[in-house]
Amino acid sequence: MARILIVDDSPSQLLGMKRVIEKLGHEPLTAEDGAAGVEVARRELPDLILMDVVMPNLNGFQATRAITKDPLTAHIPVVLVTTKDQETDKVWGMRQGAKAYIVKPFNEAQLTQVVNELLGPKAG
């Protein structure tokens, strides 16, 4: 079982992703904005992070950059899960250190596939 941090300011999106993560047998952790996400990532050192982009305080691009540039958390894969669907957004997100980019509304199969690919055989 992996510990997966979900960072999103939308309660419905948090709940939806949390359900998928629990269904996969993993433990969800949550944070409601980018700044809290960075804090929880440093404190809990999750196995994977699902990160929204459009959030108050620190947006997902900024939070992803903070997490992937910090030696303490740089090993944690970050997946951006966002409504920002432009190619330039995807390119920018990947340049911030994200390992994958999922456009909302996400579908369960796509989220499951990305989580399984990034966690690899150690999950479960």
Q: What is the pLDDT of residue 62?
A: 98
Query: What 8-state DSSP symbol labels residue 36?
Result: H
Q: How confident is the model at residue 35 (pLDDT cuts 50, 70, 90)?
A: very high
Residues with Cβ within 8 Å of residue 12, at least 6 apart in sequence: none
Task: Specify the range with the lowest mean pLDDT, choosing from 9-13, 95-99, 118-122.
Answer: 118-122
For 102, phi then psi, to 5°, come to -120, 130
Find, among 46, 50, 52, the residue nearest to 2 by Cα.
Answer: 46
pLDDT at 27 over 90: yes
Task: Flag whether the pTM goes above 0.75.
Answer: yes
What pLDDT is stored for residue 28 in this prediction?
98
Question: Does the structure show a pLDDT above 90 at 120?
Answer: no
Domains of the chain: 3-117 (3.40.50.2300)
Q: Which two tokens stand for residue 98?
A: 């994200």
The answer on pLDDT for 40 being more than 60 is: yes
Helices and strands in the chain: count of H runs, count of E runs: 5, 5
In Å, what is the CA distance from 32 to each residue of 12, 41, 76, 89, 118?
12, 13, 19, 21, 23
What confidence tens digit (pLDDT) does each residue in 69-117 have? Answer: 999 999 999 999 999 999 999 999 999 999 999 999 999 999 999 999 9
pLDDT greater than 90 at residue 123: no
Return the pLDDT at 122.
56
Contacts of 102 (CB under 8 A, 6+ apart): 79, 80, 81, 82, 110, 111, 114
